[in-house]
Structure 1
Amino acid sequence: MGAVTGLPDLLRECAPQVLAAVVRRYGDFEACEDAVQEALIAAARQWPETGVPEHPSNWLITVASRRRVELLRNETARRRREEAVRQEPAPQVRGDDELALLLLCCHPALSVPAQVTLTLRAVGGLTTAEIARALLLPEATVGQRITRAKQRIRDTGTRFEMPAPGALGELGERLTAVRQVLYLIFNEGYTASSGDALNRVELTREAIRLTRQLHRRLPDDGEVAGLLALMLLTDARRPSRTGPDGTLVPLAEQDRRRWDAAAIAEGVAIITHTLARAPIGPYQLQAAIAAVHDEAARAEDTDWPQILALYGMLHALAPSPMVTLNRIVARAMVDGPEAGLAALDQIADDPVLSRHHRTAAVRAHLLELADDRDGAQEQYRLAARLTLSRPEQRYLESRAARLL
């Protein structure tokens, strides 16, 4: 037995592996998830007193399997199956289990929004509240989506299995949601939507790990490669995104010597190779933008005209509120803050951007560059009120205080 340290993180890390193993053995996603949740609760109660088992995932799988067998006792039609299950050893974690679970949650029988929310819950380990913030949705809506998605999986009799190697058509139907889910998990880890910490490293690592698995299985898929490159190029900056006291450091002020050179080199190599051979997609364009930032030795060396051109392509291919906002920032860096402020005025009625803290933060920065100190101070304070991330709040409040 080992000492209990970081128990919530350990349980979050084990949960997807345990759920995948139990679903593979017994089927019935919803019942297995209930059994795994009970096992996690049991661990949270027992391990602080008894210590963490040598193999925590195996312990959780055993407890969850026992609970699933107990549930089978109440199902008359499955009594024979129950007896057979009793004679079998508990399932073990298998290399492709989590990827199979990911594909199960992104089954075509589910709508894309349902696929995203269910996978964030089952594979990413995010809470309903975290998913709601990531998707900019009410928490109640997300809870309903998860419940309905599990019901849909049960009603359709969807099986837990990897598509056959030759069934790429079936796999392709799920890839859009799979990529979106992995990116959302990464983003929640890279910039946590709430709490005291800016980064949740366990989530970024999990997203990169799962994306590597997907890339190994589908090496010719340009968008999977682009997504992996984007994650690597973005996460490479993490060591310099916070100061010694945990405060946020903006991109232009980061010590680039602390960036992860190996991750940058890998990401640049992946996106360079992919752009030369695959049809261009949104993740590839975002990776190319990240590469331009990462290859600049100093902030003032950044090739903003190239970034603006890439955002123009991205906006034409996959428009979204955040793409619009980032394109405005690039426009301001090329044509001046007044051009950026004029563009912000044109999106003032956007239902998403008008309530998002990043819009106020961008306006504040551009007003500061335009030497409107009072206006910038007001917008920094508005942005601080709109975000739930305490590191971002402290940073934005500090920017406002500088302008007093």
Structure 2
Amino acid sequence: MTSMRFFAAFLAFSPILGVFAAFEDPEFFEIKIDREHPEAVYKAFEEFKTKYNRKYKDASETQMRFNQFVKSYNKVNDLNAKAKESGYDTKFGINKFADLTEGEFSGRLSHVVPNNTGVPVLDLEKPFFRPAVVNKTRHKRRSTKYPDYFDLRKTLVNGESIIGPIKDQGNCACCWGFAIAGLVESVNALHSNRFRSLSDQELCDCGTNGTPGCKGGSLQNGVDYVNRYGLSADDDYPYDDTRAFTSKRCRVRETRRVVKERTFTYAAVNARKAEQQIMEVLTKWNVPVAVYFKVGDRFKAYEQGVIVEDDCRGAKDWHAGLIVGYDSISDSRGREYPYWIVKNSWGNWAEEDGYFRVIRGENWCSIESNGYAGDMKSHDDYYYYY
């Protein structure tokens, strides 16, 4: 009944609003409703509002949000149909971004183009890391043969996972800060034998060169900041997704350093050897890899499975995450696809507990071109430069 009442209200004022929307919204004609089953999308919209506790201020905003929802709904159906036709296991679905405009969603992403010029580059012939110590047991170096499957979430330090819980960056485009904080958390846990959640907010407030962190940054900003100044604990400098939309909010002098200045060091993954290097960093040194990648429709609408197809050509939005493992999967046609397991910072936005999986070894959306690994001891002699 609720969806039908909304349907009636929609018909009452949609013709007038539609005239203006057609001129204002270049994607207006994506707002298409199946005429044979119009009730499906209205029901889905009501369920979406209930699930995500959406409250709109008036009928005009409700109409606008419904229009955005219809576009998302149609895109999800189209992507699922294409995945099924191709035999992939990828599933797409309605998530918490479904009623946002293109501009609103883009505002949650970074627009800083990666630039690794002058950054030290990882060279596995000259080991960057010390041997990993997990639960006080020193691991012997393995051969160059990597295990078929590896998940760093299963690695424990003093009974706790070396990978921290999923966080949520909210409306702030500080994905780069979350990825670097997550990297440093694991490195610090490995070398201190204790996991501590570190401050994403400090990076958002302090880690760029005067640009508000909620308007974007880069992995290079993050690793360089931690190298110079260290990083405080999350509970000492807690996250507020409204704080870093303006500059000069840094309050680092008020906090204590968990990671001391000049103790964290880093290297960029060699893009030409990315798959091998990331697998070695994960398996031999028990350290995740922070990555930066372009965002297309498939990632925006992701629900579960492995994203195989790259739809990021020409994309201007970037996002960051943390590669924590890898595996392979066979699709319905018997084709095998290797994939990365990536930690995200959007809360439990998808059906994989805040993580997502993407094809490995194909540089999906540039994910293997922009990786960073870290350690807690300087090994400058092991670097070479672009």
What TM-score do the two structures reach when normalised by structure 2? 0.21
Indicate the structure with greater strand content. Answer: 2
Indicate the structure with greater helix content. Answer: 1
What TM-score do the two structures reach when normalised by structure 1? 0.20
